Homo-oligomer: A and B are copies of this chain.
Amino acid sequence: MLTHAERTETWLAALRGHGYRLTAPRQAVVAAVAESDRALIPAEVHDQARRAYPRLGLVTVYRTLEKLEELHLVQRVHRPDNCQAFVAGVEGHQHLLICQKCGRVQYFSGDQLGALIQRVQADSGYEIHDHWLQLFGECGEC
Chain A positions within 8 Å of B, measured between CB atoms, are 76, 78, 80, 83, 97, 99-100, 106, 108, 110-113, 116-117, 119-121, 123-140
Distance in angstroms from A108 CB to nearest chain B CB is 5
Q: Contacts of A126 on B, CB cut-off 8 Å?
A: 97, 99, 106, 135, 137-140
Distance in angstroms from A97 CB to nearest chain B CB is 6
- The count of identical subunits is 2
CB pair A135–B108 under 8 Å, yes or no, is no
CB pair B139–A125 under 8 Å, yes or no, is yes
Q: Contacts A78-B78, A83-B78, A100-B129 known; A108 to B137 CB distance under 8 Å?
A: no
CB pair A131–B133 under 8 Å, yes or no, is yes
